[in-house]
């Protein structure tokens, strides 16, 4: 073989070796990235405790007698349902991004991440570390606790796992059907009045009431939901022994359906329902709708 032919043969062999190596790397890359984050299909019946820890903050969702509470407060069962649906979401997907612990800090799945543990009794059913958000919508980095593999997760599960205490709490104050209300006792400052259902319609202080204003009040009672909660410090600063406003709703049998005490501050109205230690925040307009001035409830002749 001539020297020129030998050079061509070696060059051809080198190209073939390069292509083989590139194909092997490509095949390995495809195999790696096709790996999925495997999550157990947990239901609410499987779990009685969810603990979420990030730094000094700990959040505990606990189930007892079928009811969920978050750090001792009543939890919104709709939010809990949403979380467990996300765990079994067949449309969610994930991509393996890294297999080394050296990547954990960069992706936020090290000690700075949020660790979420699903458990039943003393048994851990699932433990995840939720890291930084991805660049795309509803994406974040996840890994199983004790594992090095890091996945980019596409779905709403990471966002749900990152909710704070107030986001999990039940904001419902009252759900009172309109036709169950017979009488409403209203107090603004030192002035009190009574709104009462009669055969001829609603009356206020024995005078015909404005049907539109009454309907607005009753609709508010049908879906009375807070916009937030008072912190412990804020709750201590409020005075519900001498509230600025008070609302009492009585049923057709004379039973008390709702007692609400209101205290106002520069940052809004704060309310407490009798029998419930929670202090809720309501919009200004909602309180004015529920406990309006007498003049807005009286029917005026055309």
Q: Which parts of 73-200 are beta strand (E)?
A: 73-74, 93-98, 114-120, 123-133, 139-144, 150-154, 172-174, 181-188, 191-198
User: Long-range contacts of range 236-245, CB-CB < 8 Å, 24 or more positions apart?
Assistant: 237/265, 238/263, 238/265, 238/270, 238/279, 239/263, 240/272, 243/187, 244/188, 244/189, 245/186, 245/187, 245/188, 245/189, 245/287, 245/291
Cβ atoms within 10 Å, residue 180: 16
**Quick one: residue 23, left, alpha or beta (phi over 0 = left, psi -120 to 50 = alpha)?**
alpha
236-269 pLDDT, tens digit per residue, is 999 898 899 999 999 999 999 999 999 988 788 9
pTM, two decimal places: 0.79
186-233 pLDDT, tens digit per residue, is 999 889 999 999 988 999 988 899 999 999 999 999 999 999 999 999
Q: How far is residue 177's CA from residue 252's CA, in Å, rounded to a whole number?
A: 12
Q: How far from 110 is each of 117, 129, 144, 179, CA to CA, in Å? A: 15, 8, 11, 56
The pLDDT assigned to 266 comes to 79
pLDDT at 300 exceeding the cut of 50: yes
> How would residue 299 be classed by pLDDT, with cut points 50, 70 and 90?
confident
Domain ranges in the chain are 49-168, 172-297
156-196 pLDDT, tens digit per residue, is 999 999 999 999 999 999 999 999 999 999 999 889 999 99
The pLDDT assigned to 57 comes to 94
Residue with tokens 């612990």: 101
Q: Which pairing describes strands 172-174 and 201-204: parallel, antiparallel, or unpaired?
A: unpaired
> How would residue 24 be classed by pLDDT, with cut points 50, 70 and 90?
very low
> How would residue 25 be classed by pLDDT, with cut points 50, 70 and 90?
very low
pLDDT at 98 exceeding the cut of 80: yes
3-state class (DSSP) for residue 288: helix
Give yes or no for a contact between 193 and 202, defined as CB atoms under 8 angstroms apart: no
The pLDDT assigned to 20 comes to 46
Taking each continuous run of H as one helix and of E as one strand, the counts in the chain are 9, 20
**Structure tokens, 148:** 């090095």
């Amino acid at each position: 073989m001539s020297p020129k032919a030998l050079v061509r043969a070696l060059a051809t062999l080198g190209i073939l070796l390069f292509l083989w190596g590139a194909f092997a790397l490509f095949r390995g890359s495809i195999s790696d990235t096709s790996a999925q984050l495997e999550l157990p299909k947990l239901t609410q019946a499987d779990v009685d405790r969810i603990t979420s820890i990030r730094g000094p903050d700990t959040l505990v969702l606990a189930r007892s007698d079928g009811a969920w509470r978050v750090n001792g407060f009543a939890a919104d069962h709709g939010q809990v349902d949403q979380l467990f649906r996300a765990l079994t979401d067949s449309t969610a997907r994930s991509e393996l991004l890294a297999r080394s612990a050296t990547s954990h800090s960069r992706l936020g799945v090290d000690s700075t991440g949020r660790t979420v543990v699903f458990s039943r009794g003393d048994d851990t059913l699932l433990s995840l570390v939720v890291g930084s958000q991805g660049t795309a919508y509803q994406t974040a980095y996840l890994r199983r606790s004790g594992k090095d593999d890091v996945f980019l997760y596409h779905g709403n599960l990471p966002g749900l796992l990152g909710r704070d205490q107030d986001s999990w709490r039940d904001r419902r104050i009252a759900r009172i059907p309109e036709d169950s209300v017979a009488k409403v006792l209203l107090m603004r400052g030192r002035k009190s009045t009574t709104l009462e259902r009669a055969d001829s319609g609603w009356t206020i202080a024995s005078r015909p009431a404005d049907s539109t204003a009454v309907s607005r009040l009753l609709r508010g009672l049908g879906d009375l939901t807070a916009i937030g909660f008072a912190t412990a410090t804020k709750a201590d600063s409020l005075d519900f022994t001498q509230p600025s406003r008070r609302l009492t709703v009585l049923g057709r049998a004379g039973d008390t359906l709702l007692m609400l005490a209101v205290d106002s501050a520069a940052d809004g109205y704060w309310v407490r329902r009798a029998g419930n230690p929670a202090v809720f925040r309501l919009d200004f307009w909602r309180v004015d709708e529920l406990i309006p001035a007498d003049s807005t409830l009286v029917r005026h002749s055309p």
